[in-house]
């Protein structure tokens, strides 16, 4: 008789997932078809999965199905599971960082970061002073403590995205979903955000699934890369052994390395072949 613990269910699993919007109408559109994939639970660490594909191929639809958002959920066929349970709707174990800055404009930066803690105060039992301390700690981590009393409109785009990151990670969700979170930023700021997210992700040990249009970003951030086919989307190719970027590593230095450039070229070739139907 073995005392070994039972294997953990996958963090995320797609089982033959299809999604048709506006079914039975002239505007019917199939975003996903037969999407099957598994992200295993690795104790003590979280996997970072990046998703590439052409516009309209269902990348964001897949992400939103994990989140359980009402506008997309449920799938038209198949199942989406989180830790072995079918997704029925949003849950506090999952958090989304969007492309558009999503702060509450009437709240200060500190209040924005604290809001999730306030919503869960009854369950967590955290006192108001402790929730404020935790929010300030995360503002420290994203370099915004001096801006705690400002309002979102007083911040730059990069700073507003730092607020969104802090607001998400202060709750320590087990799954972080990111939908092109850095695409609206200029290149230097985008690199700063990439470096920041690798450092903070290592700390929270969450599983991350991120949609991006940048192959270099996918390689820098991802442990695994899924390339989607044209719609209806499915995983046409998966790169499962991407070298892990050291926590907080400088993107400029990584991008100059020969190994990184070779991997970007390999994935670019595969991406182009998939889009051309080869």
| Higher pLDDT pick, 105 / 228 | 228
In this structure, what token pair is assigned to residue 44?
């003590």
> Does the structure show a pLDDT above 70 at 101?
no
How many CA atoms does the CB half-sphere of 138 hold within 13 Å?
Answer: 30
> Does the structure show a pLDDT above 70 at 278?
no
Cα–Cα distance for residue pair 276/266, rounded to 1 Å = 16
Cα–Cα distance for residue pair 85/12, rounded to 1 Å = 9
- pLDDT of 63: 96
> Does the structure show a pLDDT above 60 at 2?
no
For the stretch 44-85, pLDDT in tens is 678 899 999 988 899 999 999 999 999 999 999 999 999 999
232-248 mean pLDDT = 88
- pLDDT of 43: 67
Taking the whole predicted model, whether its pTM rises above 0.85 is answered as yes
Cα–Cα distance for residue pair 205/44, rounded to 1 Å = 7
Cα–Cα distance for residue pair 188/185, rounded to 1 Å = 8
Q: Which domains does the chain have, with CATH numbers?
A: 1-93+174-278 (3.40.50.300), 103-172 (no CATH)
Q: Could you tell me what percent of the chain has a pLDDT over 90?
A: 65
- Which is it for strands 224-228 and 235-239: parallel, antiparallel or unpaired? antiparallel
The phi, psi pair for 114, rounded to 5°, reads: -85, -15
- Under the banding of pLDDT at 50, 70 and 90, the label for residue 245 is confident
Average pLDDT, the chain: 90
Question: For residue 120, which of 166, 167, 162 has the smallest C-alpha distance?
Answer: 167
- Which is it for strands 207-211 and 175-179: parallel, antiparallel or unpaired? parallel
Q: Please, which residues have CB within 8 angstroms of residue 227's CB and are 6 or more apart in sequence? A: 51, 52, 53, 235, 236, 237, 238, 239, 267, 270, 271, 274
Helices (H) and strands (E) in the chain, counts: 9, 10
In this structure, what token pair is assigned to residue 163?
């607020």
Query: Can you say how many angstroms the Cα of residue 220 is from the centroid of all Cα atoms in its chain?
Result: 14
Question: For residue 46, which of 255, 227, 200 has the smallest C-alpha distance?
Answer: 200
- pLDDT of 253: 87
182-to-32, 127, 218 alpha-carbon distances in Å: 24, 34, 12
């Amino acid at each position: 008789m073995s005392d070994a613990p039972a294997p953990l269910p996958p963090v995320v699993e797609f089982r033959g997932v299809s999604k048709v919007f506006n079914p039975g109408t002239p505007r019917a559109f199939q975003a996903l078809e037969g999407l099957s994939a598994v992200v295993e639970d690795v104790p003590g660490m979280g996997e970072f999965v990046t998703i590439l594909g052409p516009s309209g191929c269902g990348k964001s639809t897949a992400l939103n199905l994990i989140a359980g958002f009402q506008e997309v959920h449920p799938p038209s066929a198949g199942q989406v599971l989180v830790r072995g349970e079918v997704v029925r709707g949003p849950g506090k174990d999952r958090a989304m960082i969007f492309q558009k800055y999503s702060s509450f404009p009437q709240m200060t930066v500190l209040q924005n970061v604290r809001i999730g803690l306030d919503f869960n105060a009854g369950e967590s039992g955290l006192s108001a002073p402790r929730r404020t301390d935790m929010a300030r700690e995360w503002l420290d981590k994203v370099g915004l403590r001096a801006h705690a009393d400002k309002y979102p409109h007083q911040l730059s785009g990069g700073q507003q995205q730092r607020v969104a990151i802090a607001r998400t990670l202060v709750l320590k969700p087990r799954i972080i979903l990111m939908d092109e979170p850095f695409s609206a930023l200029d290149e230097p700021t985008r690199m700063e955000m990439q470096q920041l997210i690798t450092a903070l992700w290592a700390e929270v040990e969450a599983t991350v699934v991120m949609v991006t249009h940048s192959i270099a970003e996918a390689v820098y951030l991802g442990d695994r890369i899924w390339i989607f086919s044209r719609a209806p989307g499915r995983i046409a190719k998966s790169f499962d052994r991407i070298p892990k970027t050291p926590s907080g590593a400088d993107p400029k230095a990584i991008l100059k390395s020969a190994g990184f450039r070779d991997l970007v070229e390999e994935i670019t070739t595969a991406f182009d072949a998939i889009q051309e139907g080869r």
